[in-house]
Amino acid sequence: MDDPDPDHDDPTNRELANPGAISDGQPKHQQSGPAVHLLAGNAIARNRQDAPDHHHHDSHDSFRSGAPRAVTSSNPRKFYTSAQWTADGTSLIASSSYNSISTFVLPSDLLDPSSQPRNLAPQSTVHLPEPTQTILPAPYFSLAEPATQTALVGCRDHPLQLYHLFPHDDAPAVPLASYKLIRHETEEFITPSSMLWESPGTHFLCGSANRLDYFDMSRHGSDGPLLTIPTIPSKRHIAKGSGVGMKGTVSALAASPMDANGGSIIAAGMWTRWVGLYDLHRSEKVVANWTVSNTDDMDGAAEIGGQGIVQVRWSPCGRYLVVNERQSTGLLVYDIRGSGRLLSVLHGRDATTQQKLTCDVFQGNQYGDASFFEVWAGSKDGSVIVWEDVGTSFGVIEPTWTWKAHESPVGSTILHSSGSVAATCSGGWGAPSDGDIDDDFGEAKSLPRSQRVFDESGVKVWSIGS
């Protein structure tokens, strides 16, 4: 990994010609970014001769470069799917395609000078009973308090379950608590597609097909949700195909920062490309909703594509909402508390894949203007793209700087609260290259396209601007 520009200053120290100005969003030449150093990493080994099984295949010295290659196997192969920081910033929680959660506790001397990247080994791994789309570490997680070291998981064909992230003596993980979410007509379990568990952690919210469910953490066992909120008012209307509201699966949830009165707005994104805003402390009804497919009033917005929302993310100030879609080449930024309209399109990020590639936001203005923030996002080709001073420009915005972090799709890009450290995770399914087909199988028709995994999959920790 080459440093983009070792002599460049920290991004928070870059000067703006006019910090209060709103620009027209015209393309600018991409800046050289701050120094980016790989501090530590954990990679899943890729051996084309190995027969895949359920054993652990982590390799702690695999930071290879080169074009991503797809590995073909008759069985699924393991790769990392997402990563999250714990609330206290001491640990990383990484999920994998093998239905597991690994917890990496970062060493306290991580930022000390080192001649080479460190090996990042998981302190624990929890194996889940079924695949899951939703894993949330406790919003009050503290490495000093074992009782707080939990994660909420929504697995297929199971109730929602709370697990301890550090099981005793490598024993099989046993849920600490369960929360029933069922379809009463059939008594089948509902698998959440999104969850939200915010501080202080007394309640959590689940999104699924045409509904939101609000749970009390203290009411586990046989009790269901405290409140169920249909995202579309009437099932009778659904049956007739003329429902009013937002039909579809709630695939993304985010809470805005609390206001002076302790209130917060919930943003819900749908696979059907709708966004709804809810104030659950005041009403069960949607405050506002719109479809992100309607971008006709901004040139260039429709060209980025999009086939369903995978993430919604509030700006640190709570004014703007970033909408992240699959099969797109950009991100949408809406001015929620200002004009209520589409403000800008963050262009130049290849997410033309069905895989969920998430982004993160960070307060990044040296003048203290809360409306200035940064957006960081991973791409299909393994790059991380950064847009600075988002919220100050209208129209289509090009990246400020980028760097090559991986050789496969970057599923998660997450900023530490300090702003000086970032983490990424990579991996995923991919079609084979022509060389793979010719060398290994001869005939393309003999390859089941759903069973090819990129060679590279790993979790990496980076220092930014130092």
Q: Which position has the token pair 């909703």?
A: 289
The better pLDDT of the pair 296, 455 is held by: 455
Which pLDDT does position 235 carry in this prediction?
A: 56
Residue 53 inside a domain? The answer is no
Q: How confident is the model at residue 231 (pLDDT cuts 50, 70, 90)?
A: very high
DSSP string for residues in 46-90? --TTSPP-SS--EETT----S---EEE-SS----EEEEEE-TTSS
Percent of the chain with pLDDT over 90: 62
pLDDT one-digit tens code per residue, 164-205: 999 886 667 899 999 999 998 888 999 999 999 999 999 999
Residue 54 inside a domain? The answer is no
Residue 15 inside a domain? The answer is no
For residue 429, what are the β-bridge partners?
A: 453
Q: Which position has the token pair 């003596």?
A: 169
Is the pLDDT at 148 greater than 50? The verdict is: yes
pLDDT one-digit tens code per residue, 18-77: 323 333 444 444 667 889 999 999 998 755 544 334 333 333 334 433 333 333 333 357
Using a cut of 0.85, tell me whether the model's pTM lies above it: no
The better pLDDT of the pair 139, 23 is held by: 139
- Decide if 465 contacts 9 (C-beta within 8 A): yes
Going by C-alpha positions, the residue among 43, 139, 51, 147 that lies closest to residue 96 is: 43
SS3 state at 11: helix
Q: What is the CATH number of the domain that holds 254?
A: 2.130.10.10
Q: Which position has the token pair 């983490």?
A: 423
Which pLDDT does position 443 carry in this prediction?
A: 38
For residue 135, what are the β-bridge partners?
A: 153
Q: Which helix (H) or strand (E) covers residue 269, if one does? A: strand 266-270
In the chain the first and final C-alpha atoms are separated, in Å, by: 15
Task: Output the CA angle 233-234-239, nearest 5 degrees.
Answer: 135
SS3 state at 423: strand
Q: Which two tokens stand for residue 56?
A: 């652990």
Parent domain of 296: 27-48+63-464
Q: How confident is the model at residue 244 (pLDDT cuts 50, 70, 90)?
A: low
Which pLDDT does position 460 carry in this prediction?
A: 98
DSSP string for residues in 171-237? PPP--SEEE--EETTTTEEPPPSEEE--TT-SEEEEEEBTEEEEEETT--SS---SEEEESSS-HHH
Choose the weakest-confidence range: 1-15, 212-226, 392-406, 414-428.
1-15
Sign of CA dihedral 327, 330, 336, 342: negative
Percent of the chain with pLDDT over 70: 77
Is the pLDDT at 81 greater than 90? The verdict is: yes
pLDDT (mean) for 293-304: 84
Sheet with 150-155: list strands edge to edge. Answer: 132-137, 150-155, 160-164, 177-179
State the total domains in the chain: 1
Which pLDDT does position 437 carry in this prediction?
A: 41
Which pLDDT does position 389 carry in this prediction?
A: 92
Residue 55 inside a domain? The answer is no
Residues contacting 448, CB < 8 A, separation 6+: none
Which pLDDT does position 262 carry in this prediction?
A: 82
Which pLDDT does position 241 carry in this prediction?
A: 46
Strands 80-85 and 286-291: unpaired
Distance from C-alpha of 385 to C-alpha of 403, rounded to nearest angstrom:
7
Residue 252 inside a domain? The answer is yes
Residue 120 inside a domain? The answer is yes
Q: 147: how many CB neighbours lie within 10 A of its CB?
A: 10
Which pLDDT does position 200 carry in this prediction?
A: 94
- Decide if 106 contacts 116 (C-beta within 8 A): no
Is the pLDDT at 462 greater than 60? The verdict is: yes
- Decide if 6 contacts 377 (C-beta within 8 A): no
Residues contacting 212, CB < 8 A, separation 6+: 205, 206, 228, 229, 231, 250, 268, 278
pLDDT one-digit tens code per residue, 406-434: 999 999 999 999 999 999 999 998 765 55
Distance from C-alpha of 420 to C-alpha of 466, rounded to nearest angstrom:
8
Which pLDDT does position 259 carry in this prediction?
A: 86
Question: Which ranges constitute the DSSP H helices of 306-356?
Answer: none
Residue 231 inside a domain? The answer is yes
pLDDT one-digit tens code per residue, 111-138: 998 889 999 999 999 999 898 989 999 9
Which pLDDT does position 430 carry in this prediction?
A: 76
Is the pLDDT at 277 greater than 80? The verdict is: yes
The better pLDDT of the pair 57, 398 is held by: 398
pLDDT one-digit tens code per residue, 91-110: 999 999 989 999 999 999 99
Which pLDDT does position 317 carry in this prediction?
A: 92
Residue 99 inside a domain? The answer is yes
Q: Which two tokens stand for residue 131?
A: 């695949």
Q: 118: how many CB neighbours lie within 10 A of its CB?
A: 18
pLDDT (mean) for 373-393: 95
User: Could you tell me the CA-to-CA distances from 382 to 27, 308, 375, 413, 432 in Å, in that order?
Assistant: 23, 21, 16, 11, 16
> Torsion-angle region of residue 327: left (phi > 0), alpha (psi -120 to 50) or beta?
left
